[in-house]
């Protein structure tokens, strides 16, 4: 008996409801299957599409290109798997929405928990699941299936498909064709997606077609930086060229740039200015900032900085309880936040088009996660309107944080995108804009070890803007303006965002519990204790982590002379006293607990 993918005739060529990359990827895969596919020697193909170009639709068309008997679609996580299931379901299917099929549809089944049984799989034309369902103790399926049960495997976010779990799946069904879909064919560890890329859609064309936002980079270029090493404690002034070089070569310098208070504040202020400009230009106050953080403690620091400026801010973290992250995402989708901060969480499958400004606080050691992060602001708000100001995104980053090197790598990422990336201006050659309205910042970070570089002061911050689609005439005009010393409204863009004492107090008070929790986790880790054990509390009431948290809070209360439950009464002076004594509180407590 033939499957739906063999018996039904989809309306694809000439279908005005389909996008160019959906039609072209189907044709490329059809050609691959008919002319190149060999189950023993040449069975993998890759499709590279920018975020927002209709990849889910492409996936639903792929089994038709192969006339598949039964297809298996693998997503990297639950959220993507659930969305793909909807795209295959008759009532909500991509086929119905885009008039690909009318009355009959493929039988789709999702593997999720215990709701699906083996007979369901046998009756299906396509099976959708996330890779975790086929791993370890959750894998109740593979051993029960014949080696030819699937003749096509489709990997969504196929840059993962070189991992061992994915390879085991390919080995289980050795004759099946494999198609990898991804916007980033390179994994975070540098490995390249397996299989020949048979089709890619250039990002420049995606922008021109209105499928994704046009991006603009805003680079914070310090004209001079001072930093110190503990070796003698001498201050050394560094030029912009040296800043960029050190940002690429010295990880201690990169970390100091990103985590130093004043450098952090320049990125916060610049991103807020960009958001306010976009909201004013579009008249849409739903536009938001997404920020990337290095770690949990850094995340709390960034959240506090935005809150102190009156912007509703929260964060998601890969180690947070899923309910906490879901609550924050619900607030985001309800437009109750201005800023969301992520630590390795908002990547594949996340879709919120109103994210319009990406503030880069973290340091990306590989290209793929940076591409994924920038992709969060690329989804358009209004479809097929490339000139609509709502469909413009901004990436804000610091010249010293090694992002310059990442942008350079960006150009080499995909052959299909050379037209776009090769037109990106080399960041090393950006002239520092000078003139009136210079802004100076003071930085006094702490030295963690003997070799860490600490930024001490930062002067004459200037902003350079680059459009990521090159216009020679615009560049010529820009160079002329620079040659005569014109600086436009650079001083306005760099103006410090004002904060009130009340906002600062509230932000500090709200950040304190997260700060304490992070510190407690570090102490428990350094003492090599089980967080859930009960080694510390002599009464055996509290586990180790809650006990350390309670002790830190108790010591903080002693510093300011407050009883438990009186945090709402803390004034700014008391909060600053806590800041000044915080490290000594932790050192003393850890000494007592050893």
CA angle 100, 106, 109 (to 5 degrees): 130
Q: Which residue has the higher pLDDT, 38 or 502?
A: 38
Kindly give the residue spans of alpha helices, DSSP state H, lying in 173-239. 203-208
Please say if the pLDDT value at position 182 is more than 50.
yes
The CATH number corresponding to 211-495 among 3.30.70.20, 3.40.50.300, 3.30.365.10, 3.40.190.10 equals: 3.40.50.300
Helix (H, G, I), strand (E, B) or coil at 260: coil
Please tell me the predicted confidence (pLDDT) of residue 323: 81
Written as one string, the DSSP assignment of 490-519 is: HHHHTPPPP--HHHHHHHHHHHHHHHHHHH
pLDDT interval class at 441 (50, 70, 90) = very low
Helix (H) or strand (E) holding 94: helix 94-97
Q: Of 308-317, 343-352, 447-456, where does the model show the most confidence?
A: 308-317
Query: How do residues 271-316 score in pLDDT, each as one tens digit?
Result: 999 999 999 999 999 999 999 987 777 888 899 999 999 999 999 8
Is there a contact between 351 and 329 (Cβ–Cβ < 8 Å)?
no
pLDDT interval class at 143 (50, 70, 90) = confident
Query: How do residues 186-227 score in pLDDT, each as one tens digit?
Result: 554 445 567 788 998 887 788 888 898 888 877 776 654 444
Please tell me the predicted confidence (pLDDT) of residue 345: 59
Please tell me the predicted confidence (pLDDT) of residue 394: 87
- In angstroms, rounded to a whole number, what is the distance separating the alpha carbons of residues 427 and 399? 8
Residue in this structure with the two tokens 């064919």, named with its chain if needed: 185
Half-sphere exposure for 388 (CA within 13 Å, toward CB): 17
Please tell me the predicted confidence (pLDDT) of residue 562: 84
Averaged confidence pLDDT in the chain? 76
- Of the listed ranges 150-154, 465-469, 540-544, the least confidently predicted one is 465-469
Is there a contact between 222 and 401 (Cβ–Cβ < 8 Å)?
no
Is there a contact between 100 and 22 (Cβ–Cβ < 8 Å)?
no
Number of H helices, E strands in the chain: 21, 16
- In angstroms, rounded to a whole number, what is the distance separating the alpha carbons of residues 404 and 363? 11
Written as one string, the DSSP assignment of 351-397 is: --TTEEEEEE-S--SSHHHHHHHHHTT-B-SSTT-TT-GGGEEEEEE
- What residues does CATH 3.40.50.300 cover in the chain? 4-201, 211-495
- Of the listed ranges 63-72, 74-83, 135-144, 306-315, the least confidently predicted one is 135-144
Span 580-585, mean pLDDT? Answer: 89
Kindly give the residue spans of alpha helices, DSSP state H, lying in 124-260. 164-172, 203-208, 240-249, 251-259
pLDDT interval class at 594 (50, 70, 90) = confident
Please tell me the predicted confidence (pLDDT) of residue 366: 58
Report the share of the chain in percent with pLDDT over 90.
28
Query: How do residues 80-92 score in pLDDT, each as one tens digit?
Result: 888 899 999 988 8
Is there a contact between 364 and 373 (Cβ–Cβ < 8 Å)?
yes
Please tell me the predicted confidence (pLDDT) of residue 573: 86
- In angstroms, rounded to a whole number, what is the distance separating the alpha carbons of residues 63 and 58? 10
Q: Which residue has the higher pLDDT, 403 or 130?
A: 130
pLDDT interval class at 48 (50, 70, 90) = confident
27-34 long-range contacts, CB within 8 A, separation 24+: 27/65, 28/198, 28/199, 29/62, 29/65, 29/66, 29/179, 29/198, 29/199, 30/65, 30/66, 31/198, 32/198, 33/65, 33/66, 33/67, 33/177
Is there a contact between 548 and 589 (Cβ–Cβ < 8 Å)?
yes
Cβ-based neighbour number of residue 564 at 10 Å: 9
- Of the listed ranges 49-63, 153-167, 200-214, 476-490, the least confidently predicted one is 476-490
Beta bridge mates, 152: 71, 177
44 closest CA partner among 27, 66, 24: 66
- In angstroms, rounded to a whole number, what is the distance separating the alpha carbons of residues 540 and 418? 63
- Of the listed ranges 180-194, 513-527, 568-582, the least confidently predicted one is 180-194
Residue in this structure with the two tokens 């929790």, named with its chain if needed: 517
Token duo for residue 519:
């510190």
The CATH number corresponding to 4-201 among 1.20.120.1690, 3.40.50.300, 3.30.750.24, 3.40.630.30 equals: 3.40.50.300
β pairing state of 108-110 and 288-292: unpaired
Please tell me the predicted confidence (pLDDT) of residue 510: 83
Report the largest interatomic distance among the alpha carbons of the chain, rounded to a whole angstrom. Answer: 81
Please say if the pLDDT value at position 481 is more than 60.
no
Burial of 514 by CB count in 10 Å (0-12 exposed, 13-18 middle, 19+ buried)?
A: middle
pLDDT interval class at 427 (50, 70, 90) = very low
Please say if the pLDDT value at position 544 is more than 60.
yes
Tell me 36's DSSP state. T
pLDDT interval class at 164 (50, 70, 90) = low
Is there a contact between 10 and 101 (Cβ–Cβ < 8 Å)?
yes
């Amino acid at each position: 008996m033939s499957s739906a993918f063999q018996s039904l005739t989809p309306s694809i060529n000439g279908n005005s409801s389909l996008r160019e990359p959906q039609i072209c990827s189907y044709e490329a895969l059809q050609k691959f299957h008919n002319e190149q596919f060999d189950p023993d020697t040449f069975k993998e193909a890759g499709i590279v599409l920018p975020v927002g170009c209709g990849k889910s639709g492409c996936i639903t068309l792929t089994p038709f290109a192969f006339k598949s008997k039964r297809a298996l679609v693998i997503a990297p996580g639950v959220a993507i798997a659930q969305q793909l299931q909807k795209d295959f379901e008759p009532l909500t299917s991509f086929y119905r929405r885009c008039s690909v099929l009318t009355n009959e549809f493929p039988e789709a089944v999702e593997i999720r928990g215990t709701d699906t049984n083996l007979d369901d799989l046998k009756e299906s034309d396509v099976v959708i699941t996330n890779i975790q369902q086929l791993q370890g103790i959750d894998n109740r399926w593979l051993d029960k299936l014949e080696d030819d049960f699937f003749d096509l495997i489709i990997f969504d976010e196929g840059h993962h498909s070189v991992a061992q779990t994915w390879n085991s799946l390919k080995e289980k069904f050795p004759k099946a064709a494999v198609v990898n879909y991804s916007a980033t064919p390179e994994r975070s560890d540098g490995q390249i997606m397996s299989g020949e890329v048979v089709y890619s859609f250039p990002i420049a064309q995606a922008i021109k077609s209105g499928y994704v936002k046009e991006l603009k980079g805003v680079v914070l270029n310090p004209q001079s930086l001072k930093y110190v090493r503990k070796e003698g404690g001498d201050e050394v002034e560094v030029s912009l060229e040296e800043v960029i070089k050190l940002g690429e070569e010295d990880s201690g310098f990169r970390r100091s740039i990103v985590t130093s208070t004043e450098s952090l504040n320049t990125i916060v202020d610049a991103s807020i200015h960009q958001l306010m400009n976009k909201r004013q230009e579009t008249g849409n106050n739903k536009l938001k900032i997404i920020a990337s953080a290095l770690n949990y403690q850094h995340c709390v620091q960034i959240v506090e900085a935005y809150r102190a400026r009156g912007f509703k801010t929260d964060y998601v973290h890969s180690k947070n309880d899923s309910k906490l992250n879901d609550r924050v995402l619900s607030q985001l989708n309800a437009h109750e936040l201005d800023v969301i901060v992520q630590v390795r969480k908002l990547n594949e499958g996340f879709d919120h088009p109103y994210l319009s400004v990406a503030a880069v606080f973290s340091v990306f050691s590989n290209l793929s996660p940076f591409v994924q992060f920038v992709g969060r602001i690329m989804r358009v708000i209004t479809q097929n309107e490339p000139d609509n100001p709502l469909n413009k995104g901004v990436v804000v980053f610091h010249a010293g944080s090694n992002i310059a090197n990442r942008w350079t790598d960006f150009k080499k990422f995909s052959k299909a995108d050379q037209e776009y990336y090769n037109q990106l201006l080399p960041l090393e050659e950006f002239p520092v804009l000078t003139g009136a309205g210079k802004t100076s910042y003071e930085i006094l970070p702490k030295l963690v070890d003997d070799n860490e570089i600490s930024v001490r002061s930062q002067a004459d911050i200037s902003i350079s803007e680059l459009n990521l689609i090159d216009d020679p005439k615009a560049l010529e005009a820009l160079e002329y303006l620079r040659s005569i010393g014109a600086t436009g409204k650079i001083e306005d863009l760099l103006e410090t965002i004002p904060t009130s004492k009340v906002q600062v107090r509230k932000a500090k008070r709200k950040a304190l519990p997260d700060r304490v929790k992070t510190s407690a986790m570090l102490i428990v880790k350094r003492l090599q204790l089980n967080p859930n054990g009960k080694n510390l509390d002599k009464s055996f009431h509290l586990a180790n982590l809650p006990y350390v948290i309670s002790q830190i809070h108790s010591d903080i209360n002693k510093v300011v002379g407050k009883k438990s439950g009186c945090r709402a009464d803390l004034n700014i002076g008391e909060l600053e006293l806590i800041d000044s004594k915080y490290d000594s509180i932790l050192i003393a407590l850890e000494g007592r607990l050893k």
